[in-house]
Structure 1
């Protein structure tokens, strides 16, 4: 599901939370990126200083994260906001979509932030992110100049701040995955055709620093809430799903 390429797309929005909320508020089913750009431009929905900036936010940010793989995602996210999920929990969904599209951020969560937590460090130093970025170049995973490396260091750190994983002082914040976040991505991947075992082993769970055992524990506990019925035996997991669409799941859960 995720883009494995290391790009500089974070330059066009980092966490992009406010912009995403604004775009979701005007997005209509069936809109492609060009129609969305046209509507936003005509109605000045983002108050961008330049047309170039507007295009970058929509194409390199919103489209790449939410529309490219599945054009229904903006409809689901819009419905979730309308149903009243808190912004704090909604932002977790945006974080996962951002990470899926931006490998530099996804792997920074795993290799920098999670390692910081594992080492019981209270501060995520800017140098830790810079070292991770430079290592990507050293391993020939990305071909970035020193100036681009510095910018990517800032962008990754800004995403950590935007998604409230650290504060502006670099202090590591508690980041507990919400029940709805787990349920949402389980159902998203179920309707995308993933097997129950593949859902258990999704890479995205590591964004929340969950071990495989912890993921199973959460899946089993959430089974008691009625969205599905899960059974496990040793290394096997089977799920009986109750909902027939994401819209039905969202409306019944929030």
Structure 2
């Protein structure tokens, strides 16, 4: 389904009576499509899993796709959130987010120079997203308490197979930056794969730095059927 098809279907459904057509189109094109329509089959898989996974498991899938679509969120999580947690800090503040965004703008990581109002808005967005996905707790008016994620087994299986279905080799899957969104480095990922193997979701063979994975499920549909049980 294309973004245009989805917009037309949403508009015709009558489920958004208080949203203008222009606003609805923006939501589809700028929010939904980059997250869930970029890779074929993702939106359908998530729809099938929505009613089967526990809330925490499903939220981790949404977090994954949101971070992929919003590079600044992924960078904030991997460059600020997890390092602060690893250094023993208990909180993140609005000032931390502002400093990160201002540095990103100065470093040329944005397509154009951002006005201060945009920097303020994006900083609030980063903290809000982290709170929505369970990485932070507390009031938006003060410091947010860090709540490190523990990657759920089904979310780990989803991510592993999603990378495989994108055509990556076994070692590329293990070393992919997406794992860092959940605070996992190479050794942590290998341990996670050992747990997946114990659940018979795949077969893992290692010899030194070489890893071979036998993938139990050949299609996204097969995987979804298993995860939904």
TM-score (norm 2): 0.92
Other-structure match for 1:122: 90
- Give the 5 Å matches for 1:189-228: 189-228=163-202
Match for residue 88 of structure 1?
56
Give the deviation of 1:200 after TM superposition: 0.3
Q: Write the distance in 2 (CA, Å) between the matches of 1:120 and 1:234.
A: 32
SS in 2 for 1:85: coil
Q: Which aligned runs of 4 or more in structure 1 are off by greater than 4 angstroms?
A: none
Where does structure 1 lack aligned partners over 5 or more consecutive residues? 1-30
Measure, in 2, the Cα distance between the counterparts of 1:96 and 1:87.
Answer: 14
Contact persistence 1:220–1:231 (CA under 8 A): no
Counting only pairs closer than 5 Å after superposition, residues 4-153 of structure 1 correspond to structure 2 as 31-68=1-38, 70-82=39-51, 84-142=52-110, 143-153=113-123
Query: SS at the partner of 1:37?
Result: helix
- The 3-state SS of whatever aligns with 1:171 is strand
1:47 CA drift (Å): 4.5
The equivalent of 2:207 in structure 1 is: 233
**Residue correspondences, number:** 222
1:116, CA displacement in angstroms?
1.6
The alpha carbon displacement at 1:107 in A equals: 0.1
The 8 Å contact of residues 66 and 97 in structure 1, kept in 2 or not, is answered as yes
Deviation at 1:124, TM superposition (A): 0.6
Cα distance, 1:49 vs. partner? 3.0
- The answer on 1:158 being equivalent to 2:128 is yes
Tell me if the contact between 2:85 and 2:148 (Cα under 8 Å) persists in the aligned partners: no
Superposed displacement of residue 72, structure 1: 1.0
Indicate if the aligned counterparts of 1:231 and 1:237 stay in contact, CA closer than 8 A.
Answer: yes
* Superposition RMSD in Å: 1.3
Q: Distance in 2 between matches of 1:53 and 1:241?
A: 42
